[in-house]
Amino acid sequence: MKLLVVGSVAYDSVETANGKVDRALGGSATFFAMASSLFAKTQIVAVVGDDFRPSDLQRLRDRDVDTTGIEQVPGQTFRWGGVYSRHFETRTTLFTELNVFANFKPKIGAVGAAADCVFLANIHPELQLSVLEQCHQPRFVALDTMNFWISGERPALERVLQRVDCVFVNDEEAYALSGVGNLALAAARIHAMGPQTVIIKRGEHGAALFHGGRAQILPAVILDSVIDPTGAGDSFAGGFMGYVAAQPRVDLKTLQAAMVIGTLTASYTVQGFSVDRLETLTLQDLAVRHEHLCGNLLPVALDWTQVGGFAPTHAVGVA
């Protein structure tokens, strides 16, 4: 197996200014795998209830996702409900019903344990650790987390951080994890905790990569329509990790290209509810959006001899 993801498979009820969906296929592992499977064979390890629709398993299989690690047990599937403000500035959680997810104990089979790359989606850090203990020698491991674990389960989180190559967090999580309120300094502290690659997810503002002493930003694609931001971060990670898993080496160049692939992938995710847009996504779509993204980047070349400056003391010797 190229890629293993351990996380949630859920039913989401989401309301935005553009409409609403109820019991729509969601969950971190779902969004991740729907994206990553475009690049690399992906297995999901997760748990669902006996209410989980066979047609939803089939949707994952139709994307070549290996669903043999999705355990079905008596009870209800994890459910989450939320509503977005009109311009997507804020998201309010209406309910979180862990249901069968409350007793999730990830069991990694022989196929998953041999995975090249592993993504530990946002679950309890002890569970993330237990996954790594079941895996052989994956060449690249990344994790997602959130403030709930950063503040409540820090010792376990610090243990798992020591064992991963890469962490995906947003600005707030980076500040909370590092204890400093500046992104560059926060990334340096997180590097010291273990992960040599720190990725800051900034939603509509894009994403930043901290690796090998470099800080690099990639804006998001400018879109004229956003339907539902749910899953943007997980599908960003999915595109990123799928690309990485498909490459022979994980170096700066690979990580930079993975940032681009993640950004392009997420730009489609938000243009439909649930995984609707993601499940028909093609590399051709990404190539089209890549041109769009390139056009969205402002060129930064400057001719310093022509910038002006009316006083001779302002002259500068940089060409």
| Shortest distance, position 179 Cβ to a copy of itself, whole Å | 11
CA dist., res. 27 & res. 13, Å (int): 11
Q: How many residues does the chain have?
A: 319
Task: Round to whole Å and give the CA distance between 43 and 37.
Answer: 9
Q: What is the distance, to the nearest Å, from the Cα of residue 216 to the centroid of all Cα atoms in its chain?
A: 17
Q: How far apart are CB 152 and a copy of itself at their closest, in Å? A: 21
CA distances from 121 to 14, 29, 50, 185, 295 (A): 20, 7, 23, 25, 32
Q: Which is nearer to a copy of itself, 101 or 240 (CB)?
A: 240
Q: Whole-number minimum distance, CB 105 to a copy of itself, in Å?
A: 30
> 103 or 282, CB closer to a copy of itself?
282
The rounded distance, in Å, linking the Cα atoms of 145 and 17 is: 28
Query: Do residues 200 and 207 touch, judged by C-beta distance below 8 A?
Result: yes
**How near is the Cβ of 160 to a copy of itself at its closest, in Å?**
25
Distance CA 46, CA 101 (A): 8
Of 160, 169, 158, 117, which Cα lies nearest the Cα of 141? 117
Q: Which is nearer to a copy of itself, 93 or 313 (CB)?
A: 313
Q: Choose between 93 and 284: whose C-beta lies nearer to a copy of itself.
A: 284
* 212 Cα distance to chain centroid: 21
Q: Which is nearer to a copy of itself, 146 or 185 (CB)?
A: 185
Question: How far from each other are the two terminal CA atoms of the chain, in whole angstroms?
Answer: 51
Smallest separation (angstroms) from a copy of itself to the CB of 227? 11
As measured in angstroms, the least distance from the Cβ of 56 to a copy of itself is: 21
Residue 132 or 190 with smaller CB distance to a copy of itself:
190
